[in-house]
Amino acid sequence: MNLTTTAVKIIDDATKASIATHEIERISFVVIDPRDTRAFGYIYNTTDDRHQFWAIK
């Protein structure tokens, strides 16, 4: 994962291939797992007005 001031970029560790790029202004909610601070999730609003939940650990 790569965090910048404009986007969250999800990258496959093994292949270094880009899985997803999410613009910061389209992320509406972020939460940290209270039992595991290495894990977090966020809601991403897609360009076609859908909502996706992404969980990262």
Per-residue pLDDT tens, the chain, 57 aa: give them.
999 999 999 999 999 999 999 999 999 999 999 999 999 999 999 999 999 999 999
Where exactly are the structural domains of the chain? 25-57
Return the pLDDT at 41: 97
Return the pLDDT at 51: 98
- List Cα–Cα distances, 37 to 7, 15, 26, 34, 40, in angstroms: 21, 26, 23, 6, 7
pTM of the model: 0.85
Return the pLDDT at 44: 98
Return the pLDDT at 23: 98
Q: What is the largest CA-CA distance in the chain?
A: 33
